[in-house]
């Protein structure tokens, strides 16, 4: 079935209203400052078998719910990518995510989720619906990309990216050699975290280690 952008906006808003407020009505979806759901939008979704209407109450069919979750998932993963990796401001992240949610393929969405370490919340604290890759990851506790702070003593990894928003911190980490694609080894975790980069041992606090995301090297 082909979905228009208006279809996906409406499904997203209906799904969000049901999840956050327990129900969705035609009245609560009209008059919104952005992406207003018009009566004809709801009627079109009913005709496509994506929504059921009972008076003013709207509910999603099984197919409608599945597609709505996919749209929300793409949107919130895109927000995380924009904020954590590209470090865009909130306004830019929001507008870009609104466009990305309509164009990302399932394969690209899954790759973004794996890259980010299967995040469970968007930057605003809203839950990200899990995808197939998240379900598989539950059976493999070794996430492909995860914070350096989560590694055990003796583990080796390669830096994937640094997510800090602080320019001074990024410059400091670069000076220390903590750059993408550099191998690191956790020397100790307490009282402070010490990692080896090349032939140098570097002590970093746990907050900074949480900003450094790595790919664990399999032994």
197 forms beta bridges with 200
CATH 3.40.50.150 assigned to domain 145-216? The reply is: no
Give the pairing type, strands 200-204 and 57-60: unpaired
Element (H or E) spanning 213, and its range?
strand 212-216
Count of CB atoms situated within 10 Å of the CB of 135: 10
Fold of 5-60: Arc Repressor Mutant, subunit A (1.10.10)
pLDDT for residue 46: 92
- Tens of pLDDT along 8-18? 988 998 999 89
- CB-CB contact of 163 with 85 (8 Å): yes
Residue range(s) in the chain whose domain bears CATH number 1.10.10.10: 66-137
111-150 pLDDT, tens per residue? 999 888 888 888 888 899 999 888 776 655 455 678 898 8
The mean pLDDT of the chain is 84
Q: Is 22 helix (H, G, I), strand (E, B) or coil?
A: coil
**128 closest CA partner among 136, 141, 119, 139:** 119
Residue with tokens 């990851």: 137
**Model pTM greater than 0.75?**
no
> Mind listing the pLDDT tens digit of every residue in the chain (219 residues)?
678 888 898 899 899 989 988 888 877 666 554 566 777 888 899 999 999 988 888 999 999 999 999 999 999 999 988 888 887 777 777 778 888 888 889 999 999 998 888 888 888 888 999 998 887 766 554 556 788 988 999 999 999 888 766 677 777 888 888 888 899 999 998 888 999 998 899 998 888 888 888 988 776
In CATH terms, 66-137 corresponds, of 1.10.10.10, 1.20.1250.20, 1.10.3470.10, 2.60.120.330, to: 1.10.10.10
For the chain, the residue count is 219
Any idea what DSSP says for residue 148? G
Sign (positive or negative) of CA dihedral 99, 78, 106, 215: positive
Give the 3-state secondary structure of residue 4.
coil
User: CATH 2.30.30.90 region(s) of the chain?
Assistant: 145-216
């Amino acid at each position: 079935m082909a979905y228009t952008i208006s279809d996906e906006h409406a499904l997203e808003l209906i799904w969000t209203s049901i999840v956050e407020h327990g129900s969705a009505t035609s009245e609560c979806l009209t008059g919104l400052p952005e992406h207003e759901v018009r009566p004809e939008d709801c009627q079109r979704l009913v005709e496509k078998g994506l929504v059921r209407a009972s008076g003013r109450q709207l509910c999603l069919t099984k197919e409608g719910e599945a597609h709505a979750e996919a749209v929300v998932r793409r949107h919130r993963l895109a927000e995380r990518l924009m904020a954590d990796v590209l470090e865009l401001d909130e306004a830019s992240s929001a507008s870009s995510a609104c466009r990305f949610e309509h164009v990302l393929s399932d394969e690209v969405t899954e790759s973004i989720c794996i890259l980010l370490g299967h995040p469970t919340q968007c930057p605003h604290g809203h839950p990200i619906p899990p995808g197939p890759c998240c379900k598989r990851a539950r059976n493999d506790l070794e996430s492909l990309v995860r914070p350096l702070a989560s590694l055990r003593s003796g583990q080796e990894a390669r830096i994937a990216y640094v997510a800090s928003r602080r320019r001074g911190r990024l410059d400091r980490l670069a000076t220390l050699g903590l750059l993408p694609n550099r191998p690191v080894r956790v020397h100790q975790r307490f009282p402070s975290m010490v990692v080896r980069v090349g032939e140098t041992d570097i002590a970093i606090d746990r907050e900074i280690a949480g900003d450094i995301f790595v790919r664990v090297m399999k032994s």
